[in-house]
Amino acid sequence: MIEKIRDYKIINKLGEGGMGTVYLANDVMLERKVAIKVLNPLLTKDSQFTERFRHEAKVQASLVHPNIVALYNFFQEEDHYCMVMEYVEGETLKHLISSKGPIPEQKAIWILSQMVEAVGFAHKKGIIHRDIKPSNILISNDDTIKILDFGIAKILQDKGLTKTGTKMGTIYYMSPEQIKAAKDIDNRTDIYSIGVTFYEMLSGRVPFNVDTESDFEIMNEIVSGEIKDPREIYPHISDWIVKLLFDAVEKDRDKRIKSAEEFSQRLLSKGEGQQPAPVFDKTVIDSPGLQTNIPQTPVTPPPSTAPPVPVEKPAVVQPKQNLAPTPKAPVITPKKKSSAAKFAIFGGIGAVVLVVGYFVVFGSNSSNGSNQMTGEEPWVINKDYGSRYYGPSRQDLKSEDVISHNPRFLPASSQKAVAASL
């Protein structure tokens, strides 16, 4: 086993196939694990072939997609041509099927959708895989799929390494047009190979005779034989999945699913493509309900066209005229009542103020006059205040005496005694 290739230290061998041997290696410079495929010397003896291979490697390097194994480098080391690729921790789809049997439908749909997405991305760039099969599909630990070897199968087919007696691999997934060696191979050949792979995922086996060792019998079965219903092998498959599957593996490519986009749309709509009926059915169900209300209006006009006209006038005009005066009456009456109430309240307050003022002014004057005319002495606190009202006998009174004899400063029991002494 090779121990080191350039800056890549070989860890162990991952596998071996018709294209060559794959090693797990450590990129010393970037400190990451990579997969290195050392191509079979049979593929590299022809210089014209190696030049085409280098061109196809450049094309594959341009396919940057989460579901396509990335190609990091392609170089020649001594007599070996090496491809440095992304390393994916997981297993091949082939190993998963052979170890666990049929894959549950929902998981199979999830794997299929990623395959279709990746193949559709390559088709938009004008690249056809030509060798879609479970051994070329890696599944990571989180069920993310990665497709291997884009653009390489065309070179191998031109080299004649996909025919009988080679180690290139199985022909079970080749389309009828590939078997016939048609010159105008297009993207529909990948659709067919995806369909056969999907069949194997659902049933656990390919739809052809695996007990024969004759490649001719297998090719004849692919071109002209009938594919059995996968539910004869594994019954737990939905009807729409079976229909979608048979549309993908149609022998006549003109009747086959035409593109990866159509494949994806039919997966999302559960087999109906761009013509799903759920939304349309709802509109049809709702429309009769609306139509049953609409004919009630046209039923009256046919007998006579005159009645509908008067019906509209009273219904529209009269309610508006009756509603107009009603809001005015309640608005006017509260205003009048509120103004009258205000007038009465302010008038009453004004009258009370006038009466009190009159009593204060005229009542005080009359009391002072009566005191002067009768000779009664008003109570005083200051001896000098109001002295003109006292006789000469009271002028010499001290303020203490006045205060002490003033009944306003004495208790009620002493007021009579003070008045008698004065």
CA 193 to chain centre: 34
Judged against a pLDDT cut of 70, whether residue 135 lies above it is answered with yes
Judged against a pLDDT cut of 90, whether residue 142 lies above it is answered with no
Helix (H, G, I), strand (E, B) or coil at 21: strand
- Across the range 78-85, mean pLDDT stands at 87
pLDDT (tens digit per residue) in 363-379 = 544 444 444 434 444 44
Q: What is the pLDDT of residue 398?
A: 44
Judged against a pLDDT cut of 60, whether residue 384 lies above it is answered with no
* Alpha-carbon dihedral 192, 193, 194, 199, rounded to 10 degrees: 90
Where residue 183 falls among pLDDT bands split at 50, 70, 90?
confident
pLDDT (tens digit per residue) in 197-223 = 999 999 999 999 888 888 899 999 999
Judged against a pLDDT cut of 60, whether residue 184 lies above it is answered with yes
- Across the range 279-292, mean pLDDT stands at 34
- Across the range 334-352, mean pLDDT stands at 63
Q: What is the pLDDT of residue 57?
A: 79
The shares of helix, strand and coil residues in the chain, as percent rounded to the nearest 5, are 50, 10, 35
Where residue 190 falls among pLDDT bands split at 50, 70, 90?
very high
Q: What is the pLDDT of residue 359?
A: 60
Residues catalogued as catalytic? 131
Q: What is the pLDDT of residue 221?
A: 93
Judged against a pLDDT cut of 80, whether residue 265 lies above it is answered with yes
Judged against a pLDDT cut of 60, whether residue 52 lies above it is answered with yes
Least confident interval from 85-89, 148-152, 286-290, 308-312: 286-290
Residue 251 CB burial class (10 angstroms; 0-12, 13-18, ≥19): middle
Residue with more model confidence, 78 or 378: 78
CA distance 366 to 25: 130
Residue 244 phi, psi (nearest 5):
-60, -40
Least confident interval from 20-24, 58-62, 242-246: 58-62
- Across the range 336-362, mean pLDDT stands at 64
Residue 239 CB burial class (10 angstroms; 0-12, 13-18, ≥19): exposed
Q: What is the pLDDT of residue 377?
A: 43
Percent of the chain with pLDDT over 70: 61
Residue 86 CB burial class (10 angstroms; 0-12, 13-18, ≥19): middle
Q: Is the dihedral of CA 65, 74, 6, 141 positive or negative?
A: positive
Model-wide pTM > 0.85: no
CATH, domain range 4-86: 3.30.200.20
Residue with more model confidence, 414 or 55: 55
1.10.510.10, 4.10.520.10, 3.40.190.170, 3.40.50.300: CATH of 90-278:
1.10.510.10
Sequence letter at residue 319: P
Judged against a pLDDT cut of 60, whether residue 179 lies above it is answered with yes
Q: What is the mean pLDDT of the chain?
A: 74
Q: What is the pLDDT of residue 227?
A: 93
Q: What is the pLDDT of residue 339?
A: 57
Residue with more model confidence, 192 or 387: 192
User: What does the angle CA 67 – CA 70 – CA 75 come to, to the nearest 5 degrees?
Assistant: 160
Q: Domains of the chain: which residue ranges? A: 4-86, 90-278, 371-422
109: closest CA among 226, 278, 269? 269
Judged against a pLDDT cut of 90, whether residue 388 lies above it is answered with no
- Are 4-86 and 90-278 the same fold in CATH? no
- Across the range 45-73, mean pLDDT stands at 83
* Alpha-carbon dihedral 121, 123, 124, 126, rounded to 10 degrees: 130
